[in-house]
Amino acid sequence: MASAQSDQPGYVDFGDLTGTVGVEPAVEVSLGPALLRFLTETVRQEEPELAQALGGLRGIRLNVFQLDESGVANAQKRTRNIVERLEADAWEPAVSVRSEDTMVHMYMKMVDDRVAGMTVLTIDEGGEALFMNIVGEIDPAQLGRVASRFGVDLDDIATGDF
Amino acid sequence: MSERIDKWFDNRIEAYVDGDLPDNELRMFEARMAHDPALEAAVDRAVSVLDGLGEVPRYACPVDMAERVERITTGRPQRRKVARPLFGLAAAASACAVAVALWLNAPGTVTDADVALAASPTEAELAAARSELALALSYLDKAGDLATREISEQVVGGGLIEPIRQSVGGGRETAS
């Protein structure tokens, strides 16, 4: 079925992540254009920079998995596969770094010299795998500044205190 | 009754029902209505419309609802129209009701995304979305920290000269 997000150049289909890594996501976020628009309006007065950062977004999708060794191997394989597709689709690497037990990829989709999408893929040494796709017009620096202010204690997510 | 006078009174029915006629015009209008059954009937119809609108449940309607609905049903943006003064706020409520009716009866071209665009979230949904946004951005921040840490370790270790490519034209993947 047609979707306002998937029609966008910054959209990335991650496929069946749960099937790939063998577990349900520990965290799953999916914000579509309508909710983002309403959120933007609700914060416009008190948090203008956040509103500005959100203003061009069409979607945010996030899946975080806590994986064992075999899950990590499968996630690494899927990540490499996604990276290959991104590069084939002319996504630009902003950060791409890999060590023995850690992988970080941040890619941008450029359209007419503007960022039209961002994809973040990470696997850390603790077995946490993150797949994130932000769709829409993005100012990465502004989004980074805004993101650093939220300060959600992510360690509490696993314990359900959030 | 001449056509010109008819038009003069017709043009003032809306203002009369809304209570917006100036005193001198109000006196003329009521004097005419007292012996003109057609004008009186037109006023009654206008009042009925207002009363009917008053019985419509009051839901919040996004200001651009009509435009969204037309975009969904016809695939093209609605032309901006100058709001008619008739019935003031009631006219806006009416437009909203018509838009909802159009949406409910739209042909099978409406996608999930379109429905999502047309629906207003509740306060609880907005609060949940706000929490999800905070979560997503916090994970984005965490990913940035992880990237910075990895890059620092590799640069300090001398194993990587150019681990980070800032956005456009940066080249391909670097791995240690």
pLDDT one-digit tens code per residue, B71-122: 544 444 433 333 333 333 333 444 444 444 344 444 444 445 544 454 577 8
* H-type alpha helices, chain A: 17-21, 33-43, 48-55, 69-88, 140-150, 155-159
Q: Which residue in A27, A54, A113 is closest to B135 by CB distance?
A: A27
Residues A84-108, mean pLDDT to the nearest whole number: 93
A-B Cβ pairs (cutoff 8 Å, strict): 161
Residue A105 pLDDT more than 80?
yes
Cβ neighbours of A2 in B, within 8 Å = 111, 113
More confident residue, B94 or A121: A121
Q: Kindly report the average pLDDT of chain B as a whole number.
A: 62
pLDDT score recorded for residue B176: 38
Q: Which residue in A5, A98, A154 is closest to B175 by CB distance?
A: A98
Report residue B21 CA to chain centroid gap. Answer: 30
Asked if A158 contacts A134 with a C-beta cutoff of 8 angstroms, the reply is no
- Distance (Å) of CA B114 to CA A101, B64, B68: 42, 14, 9
pLDDT score recorded for residue A100: 84
Lowest-confidence range among A37-46, B28-37, B97-106?
B97-106
More confident residue, A75 or B80: A75
pLDDT score recorded for residue B101: 39
Are A35 and B129 an interchain contact pair (Cβ–Cβ within 8 Å)? Answer: yes
The three-class DSSP label of residue B5 is: helix
Tokens standing for A70? 């075999």
Cβ neighbours of A102 in B, within 8 Å = 146, 150
**What ipTM, to 2 d.p.?**
0.90
Report residue A82 CA to chain centroid gap. Answer: 13
Asked if B67 contacts B73 with a C-beta cutoff of 8 angstroms, the reply is no
**Highest mean predicted confidence (pLDDT) among A124-128, B57-61, B160-164:** A124-128
Residues B51-71, mean pLDDT to the nearest whole number: 51
Are A39 and B133 an interchain contact pair (Cβ–Cβ within 8 Å)? Answer: yes
The whole-angstrom separation of Cα B30 and Cα B168 is 73
Task: Give the tens place of pLDDT for each residue, B146-176.
Answer: 888 888 777 665 544 444 444 433 444 444 3
pLDDT score recorded for residue B105: 41
* H-type alpha helices, B13-122: 13-18, 23-34, 37-55, 65-74, 89-104, 112-118
Nearest CA in chain B to A110: B168
Nearest CA in chain A to B68: A34
Residue A38, Cβ neighbours under 10 Å: how many? 18
Q: How far is B23 from chain A (nearest CA, A)?
A: 42
Task: Give the tens place of pLDDT for each residue, B124-144.
Answer: 888 888 888 988 998 998 888
pLDDT-derived band of residue B4, with 50, 70 and 90 as boundaries? low
Residue A27 pLDDT more than 70?
yes
Are A140 and B167 an interchain contact pair (Cβ–Cβ within 8 Å)? Answer: yes
Nearest CA in chain B to A63: B136
Nearest CA among A161, A104, A131, A97 for reference residue B157 = A97
Tokens standing for B36? 């003109």
Nearest CA among B41, B59, B38, B52 for reference residue B87 = B52
Asked if A135 contacts B142 with a C-beta cutoff of 8 angstroms, the reply is no
Q: Kindly report the average pLDDT of chain A as a whole number.
A: 89
pLDDT score recorded for residue B3: 53
Tokens standing for A4? 């306002």
Tokens standing for A158? 């696993």
